[in-house]
Every structure is written in structure tokens, then in C-alpha cells.
A and B are shown apart, each in its own frame.
Chain A
Amino acid sequence: MTPLVLDGPVLPLIALIWPLVLGLAAALPAIRTHAITLLPLAPLPALLLALVAMTGAGSGAETVVGFVLLGVVLGQPPLGMLLLGMTAFLWLAAGVYAVAYMRSARRPAVFTGFWCLTLAGNLGVFLAQDIITFYVAFAAVSLAAYVLVVEAASKEALRAGRIYLTLAVLGEACLLAGFTIGAAAADTLRIEDMRAALPQAPLGGLAGWLLLAGFGLKAGLVPLHIWLPLAHPVAPTPASAVLSGAIVKAGVIGLILFLPPGTGLAGVLVTAGLFGAFAAALYGLSQANPKAILAYSTISQMGLVMALIGAALTAGSGMEQAGFYAFHHGLAKAALFLSVGVVAGAAGGRRVAALGLAALAALSVAGAPLSGGALVKAAGKPVLAGGAGATAEMLMTISGITTTLLLGWFLIRLSREATPEGKHSAGRSDWRLWAPVLALSLGAVLLPWGLWSDWSGGLGPDYPWRGTTLLAAAWPVATGLAAGLLANWRGLVMPRLPTGDLAPMLERAVLTTIRQAERADTARRSLAQKTVTSPLPRSLGNQTGQLVARLEAALGQWRWSGLAALVLILVLAGFM
């Protein structure tokens, strides 16, 4: 326990509290109906913090709030600040977009409140230096986002929300178990101490796997990704953008901060990540909804990020480049999601311009030469080569082909979207819809240039201009474009497959089990009423349920309970 009440810079604290204050303010009757207009204000202190820290002033200082939670410690590590800045910028852009887009929100105050809570959590994971603060922030970003997912209240949205929440809760449980084991081993609550203590700790290996599962779930690690293609598309467009651009990065920072070095987990991350990078891109080609295609692209790109994290874990350096890659992906993916709403509502020249912006962001994600995406890939490849071998590096290069195909398919589907989009389509030429897409697309393409010298791992200012670099960036995109054109010309399209790939199957299995249990319950009730019922199919599940209920009924009678008490006494006394 820290005796200090408050120590260190206050800006990190303000960055977290400010969105919460706005979220609460949204509930005030005077503000309630226009609450959405508060959204762009929420990430401003965090953006300021990131800019100040990135320019070097005050970096490294820690903020300690001794009386909150179990002692909150906030820090400003460079990698955290890079992702914090990206996250704040993205939420700002999406917030501006939402002001125009969400005009007819069903419950503006509720949406605003949970938007702000999710934002605070999302910022918190980059600032937290102790396990508990991190856990609280992670829970906030993870669970509060449920309300953003189900905003439409449609049947698909509620279904996606159910799956999202179930897996989010499972993920939280994994993290709680992992953190508990880690904290017991470390004997302090600091994240770096726990990370250092885990490899030698009893059950440290188990804790590592639990953390991998908990964070992997959030980051869309295949096969824990199944909620992602369901949840990201059903949310309102600005919420999709933050989900796919920023919220998945909470999982990324978790993996970066917590996974202990020198375990088999690094190899798992590389393998699963690279597998996901290709599998998700190919599966995405079977989707018709542009937002679902983007969701699969997110899984694919996050696969590459996680492969980079795995390689950096093995090599002992290179996490910065993994973060750099995630930085670019966040901006570009948010631009792509937001462009969906703009394109769908525009016609004629405006529509072409919007598609152009989307294409710009898409090219950057694919890593076209001289784009921001090419830079982050160029920075990442040596890390992958060093930590996971030349094959992994080659696979990352080749993934440019599948990414080009996938995002090309996205652009085709997007251009075929009918106009207008729907009830949210008021104010099509609204600058608040255009400016965020423009800012994010340009940011994705240009910002990595500004960050190159600090985040490329010392590759030198001329590295992006070298012939080999340009060629390595150009050929996958060119190949992808050629393959796409060829497929288009031959009329080849992927068959339509269900969104969420494994999810519908699992969902059916779970629902069947629940129905059986319910049927067993009904059967038990009717038996209890001594009515004759037809014999019901029995499964292990309903038998167990009946057994529990019968045992309980017996324990409710005093003679059985008394007997149980006697047995208990004897067991307690005798067995030991």
C-alpha cells in the first residue's frame, strides 16, 4: 500500500477521469438528448498527453494515486504512448463521425455513457503500470463495449452481443486466474515484476497460457476470434471503427506487457498468428457484407501483429516494431470502417472520392510502396526474421497478396452498396463524416514516415527508398491486384460462408445443451407434480441437472440433512 495520496503528473489521471465525467454528465436531463455531441471531447486530454509524451517532455514519470483501487500507478512508457496517441486520435475521429452519424440514436445518453466508459478503459490499458489498474481498465473496455455492439437492438446485434459477452467474460476469468497466480509469485502488483516472476513461478506456465487466452481473445487470435466477425459489423459504424481499430489493441498491449519471455508461448503466437493472417484473409473473401470483410481483415492483420510479438519475445527485442505495426493498422482500419458509412450515403463524384479514400487506406494496409503500411512492414520484417526465421518473414511478405485480394474484394462490395444507407443517413455531405475518414487515411499513410526514425529499429532514413524495400513492397500488391483482376474477369467468386465461421456451430451446440437442460427441468417439475409425461431423451447434462435437484430436495428434508450433518462430522473428524 502506498502512503502517498497523489504523486507525479496529473495529466494521465485527467486523461482517464475526463471521459468518465463526460459519460456521467450524459445522464443529466439537460444534456441527455444531445449527449452524442460530447463524444469528440472525451479523448482530448489523452491526445494531449500522448503528444506531450511523444515529444519527450515528462516521459518516464509515474503517477501514483495511493488510495484508489489497490494503489493506482500510471506510467508513460514510449510504446504505450504511441498506442495511446493512436487510440485517442481514433476515438476523436470516430467521435466526430458519430455526432453526425448517430443523430437518431435510440438512447443517446446510454450510448454516450458507455462510449465514454469504453474509451476510458481503452486508454487505461496503455497507462496502467500495476495489475489491478490494468485489470479494471481491461474489464471496462471489454464489457462496456457490449452496449456499443448491441446499440441497434436488432436480432443479429443481440445475438452477436451474446456471443461477444460470453467470450469476454470467459476472457476476464482467464485473466483473473492468470493475474492471481502472477501476483502471488511476484509479491508485488507491478506488471513488470509479475512478468519477470512468472517463468520461475509454480503454475507460471499455466498462468502464461491463461494470459495468452485472455488477451488473445480480445486481439482476435485464431481460433479465439469467432466473436469478432459477428460483433464488429453489427455495431453502428463509428463503434465498429473503434472496436476494430482501437479496442482490439487492448489485447495487443496485454500480450506485449504480460507474456513472459522464454516460454513456448512465443512459438504459439507466431504459428497461430501467421495461420490466422492467411486463414482469415481467405475466409473473408466468402463474405458479402463490407464490414464483415473488414472484420476478417482485422483478424488477419492482428495475426501479423501477434506473430511479431511472438518473434520479439523470442528475440528479446522488437516489441516497438509490433506496436508500430498495430499503430498503423488502427488508423487504417478505422478509416476503412468509417468510409463504409460515407460511401453508402454518397452518390456521383462524392462516392468516387470516398471510394478513393477507402482505396488509399486499403493500399496502405496491403503495404503498397511508400505507404505507411509499407514502412511498418519493412520495420517488422527483420524482427520476424530474427525471432521466427526467414520463412516467417517470407510469409509476412506473401500475406500482402491475400490482404490485397481481401481489401480489393471489400472495395468491390463497397462500391456495390446501395444508396442511401438507412435511417442514420441524414447529412450525407456533412464534414463531420468526411473529415474523420480523410484524417485517418492520411494519418495511416503519412504518420509512419514521421515516426520512422524512432520506431523502425534503427533501419536508417534511406531504408524505405531502397530498391529492395520498394520491390518487396510492390510485388505482393501487384500480384494480388493481378490475381484479383483475373478472378474478376473469369467471374470467380468464393462461395458465401457463414459470418463468424466456427461461431454458429459452437452456438448450436451450446443452445442444444441448454434446451436439453431446460427440458430436463420441465420433466423434473412435472414428475414432482406426479403427472404422467412421455419419456424424454436423456443426456448426460440433464441427468446431472436432475441429480443436483434431487439431492437438494433430499437435503431440504431434515432427516436426510441430519444424516448428512452426522456424516459430515464424522468425515471432518475421521478422514484427517
Chain B
Amino acid sequence: MTAALPVLILFSSLIASLVTFFLPQTAHGTRNALNLGCALLKLGMVAFMLGEVAQGTIYEMRLPLAPGLDLLLRIDALSLLFVTLSAFLWLLTTIYAIAYFGTKPELSRFFGFFSLCVAATTGLAMAGNLISFFIFYELLTLSTWPLVIHKQDRASLAAGRSYLTFSLPGSAALLVAILWLESATGPIEFALPADLRAHGDASLRMIFALFIAGLGVKAALVPLHGWLPAAMAAPAPVSALLHAVAVVKAGAFGIVRVIYDVFGIALVEELRVGIVLAALAAVTIIWGSLRALQQTEVKKRLAFSTVSQVAYIVLGAALAGPFAVIGGLVHLVHQGLMKITLFFCAGVYQECADISEIRQLDGIGARMPLTSLCFSLGALGMIGIPPMAGFVSKFYLGVGGVQSGAAWVVAVLVASSLLNSAYFLPLLYRIWFRPVPVEGGSSGPRATPPGILWPPVITAAAALAVGLFAASAFSPLAWATLIVEREYLP
């Protein structure tokens, strides 16, 4: 029974998606119950697996697609890190989305693709070989597009177009990379590192570069990040999911897989591609922060902040020292919790107080204290102020950088922290210390429905807890350490 868990977990989202497509728009109750039920079920299964995998169990499920082409689902500690994050945040985002949309039109389409998007993310996390990874990666690309253009206004359609113009060439690059690599080695499974030496150095570098270009589009590495800020036109729950779990994380996760499970640290080091990727990540970190500083819209600023923060994960993976890898992996979770909090709150501000520009935040703290508190916690965490989650990632990345002989990483982290302060602290100042503008006729913010009020409270509390109790046995840090000890250290 438990051996089928990977498939069950995948199906929990897939079935929710398929059934939702055929529900009528007015069947709100059924649709909500179905989506919530599946999300809860999935979280339950994931929780059970956490215990098992911690003991050393590995789940595997193989489905032959064509001769020599298997769909392989495999759950190890690294997959489960990502699956757990997505299962937890899927539940919260579903609650948030239900309250956010209420009875607006086209909800069956929305929730159908929403679940499909999560199914794709889950599948991608569980993919055990390159071709399975590619299938789910593509499914993710396609299922996200209807979410981005959900409003169907001009801005959304343009954002959707931009998303596809970036994603499809990226996918092509990824496919070329996979085919090129496997042309000489045969199908590559993550658990059984193949000998890539059938290729020459130059080809391997080219293949690596194609991988990075293909995955870098989703991870929003500069200069492939243009679609992400544009995608802000999407509704708040989509932005939250996009920035915290689904799309950008898929790219970052893929890069981790490619470095550790396809090429292997030794080969990456030998080819000297790791340090170039680290430099690219560093450029992205600084560039994203600089651009964030120039934004005047709340969501745009958050979007560029994502560009910067996701590159931390890539940086950690590229540096390849144990501490750096732990820092990068743990940031996968930490950034997700903090960023989803920020986007949830931005959505609440937009819905209940019509705030989209930064200057409109003046004095909102006194009027929406709970939401503003969560926003502040998320922002402080992003800056890296302890004991919020962000500082753990930064500390590990910095120590890892020094240990890998790349002490410039510390300078990048410090510059990034300062830039983060420069673009987040003025927001907090406006929220808490500026007086409410006196404008005639404005009746203050509307009451916040509990469904969009509480999810950010939970994620903010989680972002605080994972930093404050980082050393406990159940923290993301402990899990990331376990991954590194188990899989990447001899």
C-alpha cells in the first residue's frame, strides 16, 4: 500500500484538477470541498512519508512509457523537501484563493489549472529521471499560463504572452540538453549517477549551459527573468504560488538536481562551471535588488525581490560546499514561507484597502494591524534579521562561501542585505510610522475576510518558527542537513 504513495500523492492533485474542470461554475461548495479535501489528504500523506523517509525509506514507482523510456517517480529526502513545501502551501493558498475569489467568474477553470499546476510541481519534485522531470516541467509551463491570464484583461494577456515567449525557448533548450546528454549515455536516473565521460569537456560545458539556460528561465536568473515581474498582472493567489513554490522554485530545484544528481559535484568542479554559475547567481542577486529598489508598486517590488532571493538557492547549489548547499536548500523553504506571506499580504492590501502603490501604504499598520504585522515579519525575514528564517540561510551561505574559498560571497550577501533593507524598511516605515493620509470620503479599509486574513498569519508564524527553532529536529534546516549528509557527503 505505502509503496503506491508517490502515485497517490500525485493523483491527489491530478484528480482534484480533472474533476474540477467538469464542475459547473456555480458549484462553489462542491469545488471548494473537493480542493480543500484533496489538499488536506495530500498533506496527510506527505506528513506520513516524512517520518518514513527520515528513517531511510525510499519510495519508487516505475511506469514504462515506451521502450527505454520510463516514467519514474522516486521520493528521497530532497524530493520530499520540495513536496512538503508545496503540499503545505497549496493548502493555505487554496484557502486563500477560495476567500479571495468568492463567487467571481471562471472559477472551475481557475481551480482546475491551479490543481494541475500543483500536480506538475509535485511530479517534478518526485521525478526520478531526466525525462520524467522534463514531462512535468512542461506540464507546469502549460498549466501556469491559464492562471497568469486569468483576468483576461490586456495586462494579463501580455503577461501570459511574455511568460510563454520566455518559457518555450527555455523548454526547448532543456530538451536539447537532455537529448544531447542522453544520446551518448542512455537514460539518466538521478539516483544512479551515469558516467558522462562519453562526452568531451566542451560538449559537457555546452550541455550544462543549455541546462542552466533552460532551467534559468523558470528560476528567473538574470537575464532570463523578464517574464516574472510582468506576471504580476495575475491574481494574488497565483502570484503567491508562482513566487513561493511553483514556477521559480521548479527552476531552482531543477538546477540543484542537475548539479548534484546529473553531473555530480566532482564533474561540475572539474569543468569549472560551478563558479561561473555562482557568479551568475551573484549578479542576479544584486541586479534583482537594484531593480526592486526602483519599483513604486508593492507587487513589482516583491517580484524583483524574488528574482534576487531565488538566486540564493542557485548560489548555494553552485558553491558546492556542504554549508552552502544546506543554506541553499533551506532557503528553498525559507524563501517560500516568507515570500508567500508577503504576497498574501499584498493581496489583502489590494483587496481590502485598494493599495497597489507603495506610497499608499502610509499608516496602514494602525488600520490593518494583523496583516501589517505579517508583512513586516516577512520583510524583516527577507532582510535577514534574526530570528526570522532568512538569517539562517544567509549565515549558512556565507559560511559555505568562505569554506569553498569564495569569500566574495560574503560581500554579495552583505550588499544584498543592505539593498533588502533599503527596499523593505521604507515600506515598514510607511506602514507603521507615517500618519494616515487625510483624503476626503475614504472610509478606511474594508473588513478582511478570515479566509485571506489567516493564511498569511500561519505562514508568517511558520517563517518565524523555522528560524527561531532552526536547531530542532523537525526544522527545514535539520532536513536540509539530513539531505546533505545522506546524499552529497561521502
Instruction: Contact check, B470 vs A572: say whether CB atoms are below 8 A apart.
Output: no
Instruction: Contact check, B276 vs A576: say whether CB atoms are below 8 A apart.
Output: yes
- Tell me how far the C-beta of A38 lies from the nearest C-beta in chain B, rounded to whole angstroms: 20
Instruction: Contact check, B384 vs A180: say whether CB atoms are below 8 A apart.
Output: no
Complex interface residues of chain B between 372 and 405 (CB less than 8 A to chain A): 384-387, 391-392, 394-395, 398-399, 401-403
Residues of A within 8 A of B186 (CB): none
CB-contact partner of A570 in B165, B209, B418, under 8 A: B209
Q: Is A386 an interface residue (CB 8 A)?
A: no
Closest chain B residue to A66 by CB distance? Answer: B471
Q: Is B169 an interface residue (CB 8 A)?
A: yes
Residues of B within 8 A of A71 (CB): 471
Taken residue by residue from 140 to 177, chain B's Cβ proximity to chain A (1 for < 8 Å, 0 otherwise) reads as 00000000000000000000001001100100010000
Q: Is B213 an interface residue (CB 8 A)?
A: yes
CB-contact partner of A558 in B165, B273, B287, B418, under 8 A: B165
Residues of B within 8 A of A50 (CB): none
- Tell me how far the C-beta of A117 lies from the nearest C-beta in chain B, rounded to whole angstroms: 12
Give A165 to B202 CA distance when docked, in angstroms: 51
- Tell me how far the C-beta of A517 lies from the nearest C-beta in chain B, rounded to whole angstroms: 9
Instruction: Contact check, B394 vs A176: say whether CB atoms are below 8 A apart.
Output: yes
Instruction: Contact check, B469 vs A68: say whether CB atoms are below 8 A apart.
Output: yes
Instruction: Contact check, B273 vs A572: say whether CB atoms are below 8 A apart.
Output: yes
Give A203 to B410 CA distance when docked, in angstroms: 11
Residues of A within 8 A of B230 (CB): 556
Instruction: Contact check, A561 vs B166: say whether CB atoms are below 8 A apart.
Output: yes
- Size of the B side of the interface (Cβ < 8 Å), in residues, is 65
Residues of A within 8 A of B401 (CB): 180
Instruction: Contact check, B470 vs A69: say whether CB atoms are below 8 A apart.
Output: yes
Complex interface residues of chain A between 153 and 177 (CB less than 8 A to chain B): 153, 158, 165, 169-170, 172-174, 176-177
Instruction: Contact check, B223 vs A177: say whether CB atoms are below 8 A apart.
Output: no
Complex interface residues of chain A between 29 and 76 (CB less than 8 A to chain B): 66-71
Instruction: Contact check, A555 vs B223: say whether CB atoms are below 8 A apart.
Output: yes
Taken residue by residue from 142 to 160, chain A's Cβ proximity to chain B (1 for < 8 Å, 0 otherwise) reads as 0100000010010000100
Instruction: Contact check, A177 vs B418: say whether CB atoms are below 8 A apart.
Output: no
Instruction: Contact check, B223 vs A561: say whether CB atoms are below 8 A apart.
Output: yes
- Tell me how far the C-beta of B174 lies from the nearest C-beta in chain A, rounded to whole angstroms: 12
Instruction: Contact check, A132 vs B169: say whether CB atoms are below 8 A apart.
Output: no
- Tell me how far the C-beta of B444 lies from the nearest C-beta in chain A, rounded to whole angstroms: 19
- Tell me how far the C-beta of B401 lies from the nearest C-beta in chain A, rounded to whole angstroms: 8
Instruction: Contact check, B223 vs A136: say whether CB atoms are below 8 A apart.
Output: no
Residues of B within 8 A of A574 (CB): 205
- Tell me how far the C-beta of B315 lies from the nearest C-beta in chain A, rounded to whole angstroms: 14
Give A292 to B230 CA distance when docked, in angstroms: 50
CB-contact partner of A67 in B216, B273, B473, under 8 A: B473
CB-contact partner of A569 in B213, B394, B402, B478, under 8 A: B213
Closest chain A residue to B369 by CB distance? Answer: A27
User: A262-270, A374-382, A401-409, A545-553: which one contacts chain B?
Assistant: A545-553
Give A132 to B407 CA distance when docked, in angstroms: 20
Q: Is B267 an interface residue (CB 8 A)?
A: no
Q: Which 7 A-B residue pairings sit nearest by Cβ, starting from the closest?
A: A180-B398, A572-B209, A184-B402, A67-B472, A564-B223, A573-B209, A136-B386
Extra contacts besides A548-B294, A555-B226, A573-B209 (15): CB < 8 Å: A68-B471, A71-B471, A153-B433, A176-B414, A180-B413, A555-B223, A556-B162, A561-B223, A569-B173, A569-B213, A572-B209, A572-B276, A574-B205, A575-B276, A576-B205
- Interface residues of A, Cβ cutoff 8 Å to B: 1-2, 66-71, 132, 135-136, 139, 143, 150, 153, 158, 165, 169-170, 172-174, 176-177, 179-181, 183-185, 202-203, 521, 545, 548-549, 552, 555-558, 561-562, 564-565, 568-576
